[in-house]
Structure 1
């Protein structure tokens, strides 16, 4: 039997996140259209997506069979008398997919958009949350665990 101090939830989340990141970005160009940070807390996971210049009405979040998808559209209007000579800002539609662990509650996801950052909060299921285990002591009316 192998005992480890690594949180298996975090390990699985990171593995799935890395896999999804490689699929979406083609191997690691940095997720140019929709950079994301993921934060694990005791009771939830928070994903933050940078979406500057995106109309909040164009953002769509869906969950289907354990996959969270975030789609957004950024458009730039150029007048007839204007001609771009430098175009570094990425325009168009962007989609990021994150594979959710079975330890997350996909039914209770919340999202908020503020100052160009989309925050998606995903609660951790009660059964996957850290908990304290009571230790029984011999001689106090309780039976010892037999090994």
Structure 2
């Protein structure tokens, strides 16, 4: 997981997953990733060793309130799922301008009193 100035990035290694078998959803601030890797070993074959597990996998990430979960971008290329979640505008640092009531009074025209 990486945090840049304007987005939060999550990368997951998911080799051998068909993109149609990926399911990603967000409910409140919980991101859920489910994937299914099908076995490529025929049923009639007894495997001696298998380096790659198969079946259904899931991972949940609790996201902070500062992320805009309405705009999650997901890319699955070369077995790597990359999720980019922008930081919400309200959570980004911003400058606050300072004014002075004295400066405002100085800009107002002065009223003179004639006796």
Answer with 86-95 or 59-68: which moved more.
86-95
CA distance in 2: counterparts of 1:46 and 1:108, whole angstroms: 13
Coordinate RMSD, CA, aligned = 2.2
Listed as ranges, the gaps of 5+ residues in structure 1 are 1-37
Listed as ranges, the gaps of 5+ residues in structure 2 are 106-115
Contact 1:62/1:70 (8 A) holds in 2: yes
The count of aligned residue pairs is 104
> CA 1:101 to 1:80, structure 2 compared with 1: closer, same or farther past 3 Å?
closer
Query: When you count helix as a share of all residues, which structure comes out higher?
Result: 1
Give per-residue Cα distances to partners, 1:58-78, cap 9 Å, x unaligned.
001000121000000111122
- Is residue 2:35 matched to residue 1:72? yes
Normalised TM-score (structure 2):
0.79
Which residue of 2 is the match for residue 56 of structure 1?
Answer: 19
Which residue of 2 is the match for residue 43 of structure 1?
Answer: 6
Normalised TM-score (structure 1):
0.63
CA distance in 2: counterparts of 1:118 and 1:94, whole angstroms: 14
Identify the structure with bigger relative contact order (alpha carbons < 8 Å, sequence gap 6+).
2
The equivalences for 1:1-147 within 5 A come to 38-132=1-95, 141=103
Give per-residue Cα distances to partners, 1:60-101, cap 9 Å, x unaligned.
100012100000011112235532001232111110100111
Contact 1:69/1:97 (8 A) holds in 2: yes
> CA 1:47 to 1:142, structure 2 compared with 1: closer, same or farther past 3 Å?
farther
